[in-house]
Amino acid sequence: MLLAASYAGVAASVWWLSGYVPWFLLPDVPFLAIVYAGLFLGGPAGFLAAIPPAVFREVTVSAPSWTFFLSSMALFFVSREIALRLFVRAEYYILTVVVGLLLTESLSIVILMLLSGSRPFSLLWGAEEAVRIAWTGLLAVPLYMDLSSRWLRVKE
């Protein structure tokens, strides 16, 4: 189910909506799938569930080779560590974790781009990124609450 949702989100964002809706209003569905796998799916199942969304991010984002795949897998392991150390069943914890991870990822991309000598960032880009972080974080709360309750019912 996570794989299908991730693929559908990528397909909708990249192929169907990208010409009509600004990029910063489209949620990063593979990001959400990777973080969900790290937070709520334990063991090898979570790792295997995080690989396809990482590949989807690598294929659909124009960046140097392996950049987004490796950063997505690092994102999975960070969210896995958060899941092991924090109880993230409450809405505000989920929102805080997702927004924090999105902000960290955005800052790391900015730092990597600056270190490579490119400067494509502006105040407008920062505002768009803030909207993307807020939108994706707010979308994650009901999505994660629903998926985690379904996963707990399946496990019972």
**pLDDT tens, position by position, 23-71:** 777 788 889 999 999 988 888 999 999 999 999 888 887 767 787 888 8
Tens of pLDDT along 99-128?
999 888 888 777 777 776 766 667 787 888
What's the confidence (pLDDT) of residue 73? 92
Contacts 24+ apart (CB under 8 A), 2-7: 2/33, 2/36, 2/37, 2/41, 2/49, 2/53, 2/147, 3/33, 3/49, 3/52, 3/53, 5/29, 5/33, 6/30, 6/32, 6/33, 6/52, 6/53, 6/56, 7/52, 7/56
Residue extents of the structural domains in the chain: 2-155
Confidence band of 10 (pLDDT split at 50, 70, 90): confident
What's the confidence (pLDDT) of residue 18? 67
Answer for the pair 37, 147: CB distance below 8 angstroms, yes or no: no
Distance CA 140, CA 74 (A): 19
Sign of the dihedral defined by the CA atoms of residues 104, 84, 80, 92, in that order:
negative
Distance CA 3, CA 123 (A): 35
User: 55 versus 9: which is more confidently predicted?
Assistant: 55
Q: Give mean pLDDT, residues 131-151.
A: 84
Distance CA 36, CA 109 (A): 21
What's the confidence (pLDDT) of residue 6? 77
Q: Give mean pLDDT, residues 124-149.
A: 84
